[in-house]
Structure formats: C-alpha cells, structure tokens
Amino acid sequence: MENAYKNFLASLALVKNLIQLEDNIYNQLLEPKRVLEVNIPVKMDNGKIRIFKGFRAQFNDARGPFKGGIRFHPNVSYDEVRALSAWMALKTAVVGIPLGGGKGGVIVDPRELSERELESLSRGYMQAVYKIVGPESDIPAPDVYTDPRIMGWMLDEYEKIAGKHLPGVITGKPLDIGGSAARSYSTAQGGLYVLEEAMKKLQMKSPATVTIQGFGNAGYNMAKILQKNGHKIIAVSDSRGTVVNCMGLDVDDLYRHKQKTGSVANYMGAEELGFAHCFEQEADILVPAALENSIHKGNAREIKAKLIIELANGPITPEADEILVDMGVLVVPDILANAGGVTVSYFEQVQNAYGYYWEEKDVLQKLKRIMSLAFNEIWVKKEEYKVDMRTAAYILAVERIARAMEDRGMA
Ligand code: GLU
C-alpha cells in the first residue's frame, strides 16, 4: 500500500523548490499541528464492549478553523488521516475559503454494524474529540462511509454536552437541523463545474463519454449530474465489479440495483467486466471517485481518456501521475476537483452563523463562481511555472497558506 503522507511530503518538497518557500514556513508544514488518537468503547448488540480506534488530525489553521470530514473505513490509519488533513488545508486554500485543514477517521467497517451500534460509535467519537472541535476551532463533515444521518447524531451529541445549539460545529447535516441546500451532491456538482472549464481548455466536443470509478456519494451524484447535462456514462465500477454499456448506462436504474444488491456487479443493463478492465474503456473522461491509489503504475498506461477529474482524494499515485503527464492527459487534481464539498460546507457554516438559509439556486451560483475562479487561477500558475495542474494547484495553495502564516507572524 502506498503511503499517502509520503506522497504529500514529496509534492510539498517539489513546490518548496519551485516557489523558494522559506524554511520557517516549510518546516511547519511537514507535520500536522496536532493529531489526537482516541479509543472508543461501544457496547455491541451481543452485550460485549468493542473498542474502536479513531483519529482527528488538525493540519493547519492559519487561514481559519480546521475543516474536514470523518471517515469510517477499515483501512483508516494514522498516516492516511494525516495526509487527508494536509490535503484539506490545501483544498480550502485553493478555493480561497477562510478555513484550514483537518480530518478524522475511525478504523471500522460500518457495514458490519447495526444501526444502534453505528449511532453509539458516532456519539462516542464526538465525545472523544469534543474538547478539540467546535464551530470556531475545528468543523467535521462527512467523508467515506459517513453521511448526514451520522452528522445528525454527532451534532446532537456535541450540543448535549455543550448545553446549547451550535449547528456550525459540523457540516453535511440533514436539512431539518441546519444543513445546506445542495450539500448532499456538492462534491459532484463542483466536479462538473471544473470539468466544464477543463473541456473548454482542451476544446473537447460535448457531450462526452465518461467512465466513473466508485459509485458512492461522489461517484453516483457525478454520474447523475453528468447524465443530466447530456454526457454519456459508459462504464461504472465499484469494489466488486465494472459494468459497461457503450450506449450509455441508465444511472438511476443502476443505483437502484446497487441499493438492492450492495454493488453495481450483475447489473442487467450492461456487459460486465473484471475490475481491472475499467480503465480500458474508450471514454473521453475518467472520473476516479473511490479511494486513494486506485490509479497506479500498473494500470495508468491503459487509460484512454484525455481528461481525468479526481473526485476522490489521492486516487493517483505519484508514479502514475508522471506516466499520465507524459501521455498528455490533463489531470484536474483532487484539491480542486472535489473541493465543491467543502465549499458548500463553508456555505452551510455561514448560514448556520446567520440563522438564515439560502435557496438551492443561490448555493449553486456561488459554488460555480468559486470553482471556476479557482480553476482559472490554477491555470495561470500552470502557465507561469510551466507545470502540470496538480503542481500548479499546490503552488497556489501553499502560497496562500504561507501568506496567512506570515501575516500571523509565524514565519
Ligand atoms: N470529506 C469531504 C472532503 O474530503 C468534505 C469535507 C468538508 O466538507 O469539510 O473534501
């Protein structure tokens, strides 16, 4: 397994040399400001106590409170959470919202828990991190295998301990308790806006054909939004299989199949291929929307797409990244491509602070403006430094974080 944190450090070192980042700043970006490790006891349905290990990494808060999701997954680790927290700091900087970066995680396969056990774990996590989170210090949100329902339990737990309503402590909440319109699909929606900018730059024909890897919240919503915008989804994969239909898959029908069976595999409206064949499909655009390192040196050369939109965090290993750059593929990096989620989280917090809620169309208009602006600001850096888009995005982000640190006298 690739070490995501090592990958982050390698990118940071590259940027340091390109922009001649001062050692005083660089050294403070080598480690998160704080990582809390917690052990959460949960009484299981069989009456036995099971202990779950969790983390909350707070990477950098020079630009605003730490911000980032909580992941429930069996592969969560100290290094993964640290890397994800660093990427969050870069992400909030790239889109220019006044937040820093953090991330949480619990080592668990939530699909093995009953609803009661899951609620108990979610409340237990909030109790464990209570002292270091808050609307003005560190604001969690959903991530892989966590959802609005879990955010609702966590919010309730936090407010019970605090003894008052503080909806801004967590984002991605259900609408009835202070969630924002459009937050549930905002990661994908932001992905669409940058995809449209990238298609313009590459002068690609629209509609395009698309392959999507991963069919969770981000992947499913992206497929749905792309289809609504006239594009053709020709292949979708998840951890159990890949389904292909060159005429275009019916996204909602495929989703119903996944709801029923737990996977896209065995879907009738498609031809089925092994997981490894996903990349060989002749699509114009590839959207990785699953976990880290799914595109590696073993499969990168099989990619036919001219454009990749990284909806997942860290889906491409550094070796694969080099191969893709050589092949002339434009990779829109995760810290921009999936920043629509945290951007609408920021809107959610603003609405919570005001106690006044915006209409969906207003949220989307503001999101589009931010995503398109960030894309074009990165493009300017890309031309200026003659680098790929990922490096350009890192440059923009690190410069912004460095300026905030200097302003605070931290340099
Ligand atoms: N988990 C999402 C991400 O990785 C959203 C984070 C947030 O809204 O704070 O960007």
pLDDT of 76-90, one tens digit each? Answer: 999 999 999 999 999
Residue 1 is predicted with a pLDDT of 44
Residue 286 is predicted with a pLDDT of 96
* 99 Cα nearest atom in ligand 1: 9
In a mutational test of the pocket of ligand 1, which residue from 59, 72, 81, 88 has the highest number of ligand atoms less than 8 Å from its CB?
Answer: 88
Band (pLDDT 50/70/90 cuts) for residue 281 is low
Residue 238 CB–ligand 1 contact under 6 Å: no
The active-site residue, picked from 91, 103, 173, 258, is 103
Residue 143 · residue 71 · CB < 8 Å: yes
Nearest to 172 by CA among 153, 194, 193: 153
* 68 Cα nearest atom in ligand 1: 9
C-alpha 36 to ligand 1 mean position (Å): 19
Is 103 annotated as catalytic?
yes
C-alpha 293 to ligand 1 mean position (Å): 18
Residue 313 CB–ligand 1 contact under 6 Å: yes
* CATH code of the region 186-328: 3.40.50.720
pLDDT at 287 over 70: yes
* 143 Cα nearest atom in ligand 1: 1
| Alpha carbon 160 to chain centroid, angstroms | 29
**% of residues, the chain, pLDDT over 90:** 90
Nearest CA to ligand 1 atom 8: 342
Tokens of 171: 């984002």
| Alpha carbon 296 to chain centroid, angstroms | 19
Assign domain 32-166 one CATH number from 3.40.50.10860, 3.30.1490.20, 3.50.50.60, 2.90.10.10: 3.40.50.10860
User: What 3-state class would DSSP assign to 287?
Assistant: strand
Residue 90 is predicted with a pLDDT of 98
* 71 Cα nearest atom in ligand 1: 1
C-alpha 349 to ligand 1 mean position (Å): 13
Can you tell me the mean pLDDT for 251-259? Answer: 96
* 339 Cα nearest atom in ligand 1: 10
Q: Which residues does 216 contact at the CB level (< 8 Å), separation at least 6?
A: 144, 145, 238, 289, 290
Tokens of 238: 């998840």
Residue 268 is predicted with a pLDDT of 83
pLDDT at 65 over 60: yes
Q: String of b and e for 203-234 (b: at least 16 CB within 10 Å)?
A: ebeeebbbbbbbbbbbbbbbbbbbbeeebbbb
* Cα angle 251, 252, 257; round to 5: 95
The answer to whether domain 32-166 and domain 186-328 are alike in fold is: yes
Can you tell me the mean pLDDT for 224-239? Answer: 94
C-alpha 141 to ligand 1 mean position (Å): 6
C-alpha 71 to ligand 1 mean position (Å): 10
Nearest to 347 by CA among 336, 362, 337, 332: 362
Residue 197 CB–ligand 1 contact under 6 Å: no
Residue 100 is predicted with a pLDDT of 98
pLDDT at 274 over 60: no
Average pLDDT, the chain: 95
Torsions phi, psi for 332 (to 5 deg): -85, 115
Nearest to 394 by CA among 93, 55, 77: 93
Band (pLDDT 50/70/90 cuts) for residue 269 is confident
Residue 277 is predicted with a pLDDT of 57
Residue 3 is predicted with a pLDDT of 85
Residue 320 is predicted with a pLDDT of 95
pLDDT digits (tens, 9 = 90+) for 321-339: 999 999 999 999 999 999 9
In a mutational test of the pocket of ligand 1, which residue from 106, 342, 371 has the highest number of ligand atoms less than 8 Å from its CB?
Answer: 342
Residue 67 CB–ligand 1 contact under 6 Å: yes
Domain boundaries, the chain: 32-166, 186-328
